[in-house]
Chain A
Amino acid sequence: MMSEKKTVTLKIKRQDGPDSASYEETFTIPYRQNMNVISALMEIRRNPVNANGEKTTPVIWEMGCLEEVCGACSMVINGKPRQSCTALLDQLEQPIRLAPMTTFPVVRDLAVDRSRMFDALKKVKAWIPIDGTYDLGPGPRMPENKRQWAYELSKCMTCGVCLEACPNVNSRSEFIGPAAVSQVRLFNAHPTGAMNKEERLEGLMGDGGLANCGNSQNCVQSCPKGIPLTTSIAAMNRATSLQTFKNFFGSDH
């Protein structure tokens, strides 16, 4: 016996533009096997009709890789910030509530502007400068055991979940957030990157820097990649403490 067609209900917090007020709109879409939040949003885009049968504008969201490595599709799903590509409908309680992350300015609907994260990476110089006027040859080798833990840090995809979870990242504070702090640890651990480690530490010691961390440790609990963010924060606390002494008392190395 064929029962009535299975459906999925989504309650989505929408916003037409950066300065408009938000509102909630409910959608009921046909269920298919193995759906994720993105395929549900695609269904709404294909047929933008809300649960009352009214035609509406398609819901806007951001996405890239669809395999949880680019970080673009983060949103708050049933109260938890995470990537919508790996949020499988079968594992979510209905109605599924979607909302944009609150730490970042909303561009439209579920799309947010994560500029503050990228600005933070620039501030701490989260890269390794290797450009020069001639070939410098191969850099120093990296010990294997160090490479292994550094690899864990390199999984950061600037998705914004740790900033969303952090009580000290908000519109009242300039805190750069956990992600950029951990990136300094990553690049300072690299044998070539270590040649410029002081520059990155100075970035961390700037306004809005590492010292703004209040140790709530929500970041490490929330990171979808399991990056040891609080270990990175404490390690950088140690590095900046030592750097402060070196700066003040003087040191040649």
Chain B
Amino acid sequence: MAASRDFVSRKLHSLLGVIPLGLFVIQHLTVNYFATRGPEAFNDAAHFMESLPYRYVLEIFVIFLPLLFHAIYGVYIAFQSKNNVSRYGYLRNWMFYLQRISGVVVLIFVTWHVWQTRLQAAMGAEVNYQMMVDILSNPAMMIFYIIGVLGTVFHFANGLWSFFVSWGFTVTPKSQRVMTYVTMIIFVALSVVGMRALFAFV
């Protein structure tokens, strides 16, 4: 018997969030981090990514298609839930709620970010250190990017926790608790990476 659409969609949604999207987020943040070594290092790293072979295939299958599915199905999931943190203020219920809020925040941020960088590049602009300096010289944009990056990193780290439960890796309460610590350390570590890169442009 074939698994239901619910089951396949949910599992696919969980998987895509980690592979490839989570890995892509880490890779993206790592390239950004070159900015801490100065404009030249960043431009070289960005140029290396740009000049990868079969770049469009990578972009479509590693980034855009998984992102579209994860985002659209994620919004459907988020608006299906009836949040109740005011009555059930437990940590995991808060994380459940924040996962849905951050998901929507990330969707808005990523849409804008893709428009501002990748689509501008498609229309002839050059994505480089100077482009980010220009964008982030606007304080409102800087705040928007800080919220966006922190939201993304949280959504990934906490989503990783859910991934481990949803696929049946962490079954015991103890292993789930340990994963809470591990994923929150990942959240803090990636936040440092993201923030240091952002502030390297100002």
Contact = CB atoms under 8 A, between A and B. Distances in A.
Interface of A: 79, 165, 167-168, 170, 172-174, 202, 205-218, 221-222, 228, 230-231, 233-242, 244, 247
Nearest to B167: A241
Given A209-B7, A234-B165, A244-B3, A79 B87 contact: yes
A154 to B, nearest CB: 19
A207 B6 contact: yes
A221 B171 contact: no
A231 B3 contact: no
B92 interface: yes
A211 B165 CA distance: 11
A214 B9 CA distance: 14
Interface residues on B, range: 35 or more
A45 to B, nearest CB: 29
A214 B83 CA distance: 11
Interface stretch (B23-31, B74-82, B106-114, B129-137): B74-82
B4 A205 contact: yes
A214 B81 contact: yes
A189 to B, nearest CB: 13
A238 B90 contact: no
Contact of A238 (B3, B4, B84, B168): B168
B153 to A, nearest CB: 19
14 contacts: A167-B83, A212-B10, A214-B77, A215-B161, A216-B96, A217-B93, A218-B93, A221-B90, A230-B165, A230-B173, A234-B165, A234-B170, A237-B171, A241-B167
B55 interface: no
B166 interface: yes
B176 A218 contact: no
A216 B167 contact: no
Given A212-B6, A214-B99, 20 more contacts: A79-B87, A165-B84, A174-B6, A202-B1, A207-B5, A207-B7, A209-B6, A211-B166, A213-B166, A216-B88, A218-B84, A221-B88, A231-B171, A231-B173, A234-B171, A234-B176, A236-B168, A238-B171, A247-B1, A247-B2
A238 B176 CA distance: 14
Contacts of A234: 165, 168, 170-172, 176
A247 B3 contact: yes
A240 B176 contact: no
A215 B81 contact: no
Contacts of A209: 4, 6-7
Interface in B150-182: 161-162, 165-173, 176
A236 B165 CA distance: 10
Nearest to B86: A79
Contacts of A168: 80-82
Contacts of B172: 231, 234
B6 A211 contact: yes
Contacts of A240: 7, 168
Interface in B27-76: none
Contacts of B97: 167, 216
A221 B96 CA distance: 14
Nearest to B93: A216
A172 B80 contact: yes
Given A211-B6, A218-B88, A221-B90, A235 B81 contact: no
B118 interface: no
